[in-house]
Amino acid sequence: MIDFDNISKIYPNGTHALYDVNIHIEKGEFVFIVGSSGAGKSTFLKLIMHEETPTSGEITINGKKISKLKRRDIPYLRRHMGIVFQDFRLIEKMNVFDNVAFAMRAVGESSATIKKRVPYVLDLVGLKNKMKDKPSELSGGEQQRVSLARALVNNPEIIVADEPTGNVDPEMSHEIIELLNEINAKGTTVLVVTHEHDLVREFHQRVITIDHGRVIADTKDKRVSENPFAVDDFTDDPHYPDNAVVLPD
Amino acid sequence: MKGFGYLAKEGLRNVWNNRIMSIASVCVLVSCLVLTGAAALFSINVAQVVESVGDSNETTVYLKSDVSRLEAVYIGKDIEKLDNVVSTEFLSKEDALEQYKDELGDELFAQIEDRNTLPDAYVVVMEDLSLYDDTVAKIKSIDGVDSINDHRELAKKLTEISNLINIICVGVVSALMIISIFIIANTIRATMYSRRFEISIMKSVGATDSFVRMPFLIEGVVIGIVSAAVSTGAISLLYESVMSAITSMIPFSYIPLSNVVLYVSAAFAAAGIIVGFFGSFISIRKYLKKEGNEILGW
Ligand SMILES: Nc1ncnc2c1ncn2[C@@H]1O[C@H](COP(=O)(O)OP(=O)(O)OP(=O)(O)O)[C@@H](O)[C@H]1O
Ligand SMILES: [Mg+2]
């Protein structure tokens, strides 16, 4: 579903954000992306969303080569994706219903479809009774669930979430990932960037570790899940997981 | 386009939310349109006057100052004998001065009366204006004829003045048009800036460029249409009062507004829509190229 083939990204200011990244993500997978600040995690997601384009290499999404994409095709690529932001990005003056409906209006859905679909999705994230509330009247966790509902409402095949739990308290974080897990169980591919060890540990899933722009581990191995930020410690270990991608410095 | 009703509503909301800038844009565009309209109305009126002057088959033939009354009568007969001449009417220099009496006032008139240097003249009516030049040449060849007041000269002068005014107007109007486009572009840019957050979300969920663009284009076009309507109203009010003021000084029959108001308003609407459209189009282009946080300026 998502293929990174020798991807490098150098920003116009010269920052080398990613080096030779090779990643293959199957449809229906759940992937955590971890790494220290400035490692290149957000860059990785932005390349998938086509907010940025790679400096070299080829990205293939749903069998389509991104380098062959025309400008006018990009919106249609994005309709396959639901994006969740760390800062929720909800429109303050709109209530919960309208915030979610906004994503449907933006792709030209009819009001009849919107009226049916939005309450259904809000029910999925457990906010059906808060439809008329403004974002400012909600807790961080609830706001993130609205954002998640908005990402889901157009029925995407991939959910891309950049630190969705960064601005919510730990208990709520757990709930958010739990929701993403449920969504994933229904067949949606889910990519989550996170800094929270506890979550990675708790939901035993594939973990991609990025460090200084390189993928230094990509595995479902328990030792990585359990200590995702100490991956450097394993790389010297002879028992380092076989399926982990290890790139020399 | 799917969801057009929603986009149109958004466009109108933009105009309203950004009303100070919208009003400023309308004012600039109105002044531009009214000026253009005034120039156009002026030149069609001149054209009409030129045509009526040019077509008038009355020509004044001035006689030399040393021609006696008797000689003048013979000259009149000679003119009348020409094929193309229908009638002649003698206009003595006293009659000619009399025409100015009102303007001069009695006192001045009395002073000038004795020193009347105006020539005697004949007002000649021709039958076929296509033979005008030929007939004029024949009249000129008659002894004692000094000069001919060629209405064509007057027509030519008026046309020249009108052309000059047109050229000046084209310059002023194109400058104003550019300013209008610029002001509208700025207005739309301000709206886009205030809505950049929504724009970034729309783009992230896969809204097409034309979809993102539409409310802002509608905003620009609405500003254009409102300006066109205000301009039509303003020029209608101005035209009648300016024309009645002018005709009270120089009597001529001007083109009634009702004859042209439809064309004027249609031209205004077209110009307003085009300016509004391009004004918004150029400011949106810049925004649409941006992605994600760039839109938000983060
Ligand atoms: N638009 C940009 N222009 C220039 N450099 C950038 C840009 N975006 C990111 N970078 C740089 O690229 C590198 C990777 O950034 P990225 O945002 O991908 O890191 P990250 O892993 O998401 O970090 P964090 O955990 O802090 O969010 C950093 O050095 C960052 O400063
Ligand atoms: Mg980041």
Q: Is residue A60 part of a domain?
A: no
A55 lines ligand 1 (CB under 6 A): no
Are the beta carbons of A8 and A18 closer than 8 angstroms?
yes
**Inter-chain contact B291–A52, Cβ cutoff 8 Å?**
yes
Q: Tell me: pLDDT of B294 over 50.
A: yes
pLDDT in tens, B215-246: 889 988 999 999 999 999 999 999 988 888 88
Beta bridge mates, A33: A193, A208
> How many structural domains comprise chain A?
1
**Inter-chain contact A79–B200, Cβ cutoff 8 Å?**
no
Contacts of B12 (CB under 8 A, 6+ apart): B218, B219, B222
**Listed residue (A127, A141, A132, A210) closest to A177, CA to CA:** A141
Q: How far apart are the C-alpha atoms of A240 and A209, rounded to whole Å?
A: 14
**Listed residue (A122, A124, A118, A42) closest to A83, CA to CA:** A42
CB atoms inside a 10 Å sphere around CB A176: 24
Say how many Å lie between the CA of residue A61 and the centre of ligand 1.
Answer: 22
**Inter-chain contact A71–B209, Cβ cutoff 8 Å?**
yes
Q: Is residue A162 part of a domain?
A: yes
The residue type at A66: I
Contacts of B287 (CB under 8 A, 6+ apart): B189, B192, B196, B199, B295
Q: Tell me: pLDDT of A161 over 90.
A: yes
At residue B2, the pLDDT reads 65
At residue A239, the pLDDT reads 44
Where is pLDDT greater, at B297 or B194?
A: B194
Residue B60 burial (10 A CB sphere; 0-12, 13-18, 19+): middle
Among A10, A11, A47, A194, say which to mutate for ligand 1: greatest number of ligand atoms within 8 Å of CB.
A11
Say how many Å lie between the CA of residue A209 and the centre of ligand 2.
Answer: 13
Residue A63 burial (10 A CB sphere; 0-12, 13-18, 19+): exposed
A15 CA: nearest ligand 1 atom: 5
Q: Whose CA is nearest to atom 24 of ligand 1?
A: A37
- State mean pLDDT over B140-158: 78
Residue ranges of A 146-185 with Cβ closer than 8 A to chain B: 150, 154
- State mean pLDDT over A31-46: 93
- In the numeric block, the tokens 């386009």 are attached to B1
Q: How far apart are the C-alpha atoms of B290 and B295, rounded to whole Å?
A: 6
HEC string of chain B equals CCCHHHHHHHHHHHHHHCHHHHHHHHHHHHHHHHHHHHHHHHHHHHHHHHHHHHHCCEEEEEECCCCCHHHHHHHHHHHHHCCCEEEEEEECHHHHHHHCHHHHCHHHHHHHHCCCCCCCEEEEEECCHHHHHHHHHHHHHCCCEEEEECHHHHHHHHHHHHHHHHHHHHHHHHHHHHHHHHHHHHHHHHHHHHCHHHHHHHHHCCCCHHHHHHHHHHHHHHHHHHHHHHHHHHHHHHHHHHHHHHHHHCCCCCCCHHHHHHHHHHHHHHHHHHHHHHHHHHHHHHHHCCCCHHHHCC
- State mean pLDDT over A123-130: 93
The enclosing domain of A217 has a CATH number of: 3.40.50.300
Where is pLDDT greater, at A183 or B174?
A: A183
**Inter-chain contact A107–B206, Cβ cutoff 8 Å?**
yes
User: What residues of chain B lie within 8 A of the CB of A71, using their CB?
Assistant: 209
pTM, two decimals, is 0.75
Say how many Å lie between the CA of residue B182 and the centre of ligand 1.
Answer: 36
In percent, how much of chain B has pLDDT > 70? 95
User: What residues of chain A lie within 8 A of the CB of B6, using their CB?
Assistant: 105, 111
Q: A-B interface: how many C-beta pairs under 8 angstroms?
A: 64
Are the beta carbons of A92 and A136 closer than 8 angstroms?
yes
Antiparallel, parallel or unpaired: β A189-193 and A214-219: unpaired
Classify residue A87 by its DSSP letter.
T
A36 CA: nearest ligand 1 atom: 25
Say how many Å lie between the CA of residue A162 and the centre of ligand 2.
Answer: 7
Q: How far apart are the C-alpha atoms of B219 and B216, rounded to whole Å?
A: 5
Among A21, A41, A46, A165, say which to mutate for ligand 1: greatest number of ligand atoms within 8 Å of CB.
A41
Q: Is residue A249 part of a domain?
A: no
At residue B103, the pLDDT reads 65
Where is pLDDT greater, at B297 or B185?
A: B185
- Smallest CA–CA distance, residue A110 to chain B, in Å, is 7
Q: Is residue A92 part of a domain?
A: yes
Q: How far apart are the C-alpha atoms of A17 and B95, rounded to whole Å?
A: 99
A14 lines ligand 1 (CB under 6 A): no
For residue A212, give both structure tokens: 């200084």
Contacts of A50 (CB under 8 A, 6+ apart): A66, A69, A74, A77, A78, B291
**Listed residue (B95, B112, B93) closest to B104, CA to CA:** B112
**Inter-chain contact B292–A46, Cβ cutoff 8 Å?**
yes
**Inter-chain contact A108–B204, Cβ cutoff 8 Å?**
no
Average pLDDT of chain A to the nearest whole number:
88
At residue A185, the pLDDT reads 94
Say how many Å lie between the CA of residue A48 and the centre of ligand 1.
Answer: 15
Q: Is residue A18 part of a domain?
A: no
Q: Is residue A127 part of a domain?
A: yes
**Beta strands, E only, A176-242:** 189-193, 206-211, 214-219
User: What residues of chain A lie within 8 A of the CB of B201, using their CB?
Assistant: 89, 91, 102-103, 106
CATH 3.30.70.3040 fits B65-143, yes or no: yes
Q: Is residue A145 part of a domain?
A: yes
Q: State which residues form the domain around A219.
A: 27-49+80-235
pLDDT in tens, B166-181: 788 788 878 888 888 8
Edge-first strand order for the sheet with A16-25 is A16-25, A2-10, A56-61, A64-65
- State mean pLDDT over A102-126: 94
User: What residues of chain A lie within 8 A of the CB of B197, using their CB?
Assistant: 89, 91
In B, minimum Cα distance to A82 occurs at: B205
Domain boundaries, chain B: 2-53+154-297, 65-143
**Inter-chain contact A105–B209, Cβ cutoff 8 Å?**
no
**Inter-chain contact A154–B205, Cβ cutoff 8 Å?**
yes
**Inter-chain contact B291–A51, Cβ cutoff 8 Å?**
yes
Sign of CA dihedral B278, B279, B280, B286: positive
Q: How far apart are the C-alpha atoms of B40 and B76, rounded to whole Å?
A: 43
**Listed residue (A146, A140, A139) closest to A96, CA to CA:** A146
Q: How far apart are the C-alpha atoms of B222 and B232, rounded to whole Å?
A: 15
A41 lines ligand 1 (CB under 6 A): yes
Sign of CA dihedral B12, B14, B15, B16: positive
A84 lines ligand 1 (CB under 6 A): no
Q: Whose CA is nearest to atom 28 of ligand 1?
A: A38
At residue B227, the pLDDT reads 94
In percent, how much of chain A has pLDDT > 70? 90
Say how many Å lie between the CA of residue B288 and the centre of ligand 1.
Answer: 23
Long-range contact set of residues B82-86: C-beta below 8 Å, sequence gap at least 24 = B82/B135, B82/B138, B82/B139, B83/B131, B83/B135, B84/B126, B84/B127, B84/B128, B84/B131, B84/B134, B84/B135, B85/B124, B85/B125, B85/B126, B85/B127, B85/B135, B86/B57, B86/B125, B86/B126, B86/B127
- Give the H or E element holding residue A110: none
Q: Is residue A101 part of a domain?
A: yes
Classify residue A245 by its DSSP letter.
-
- State mean pLDDT over A225-230: 66
Say how many Å lie between the CA of residue A41 and the centre of ligand 1.
Answer: 8
Q: Which listed ligand is nearest to A33 at the C-alpha?
A: 1
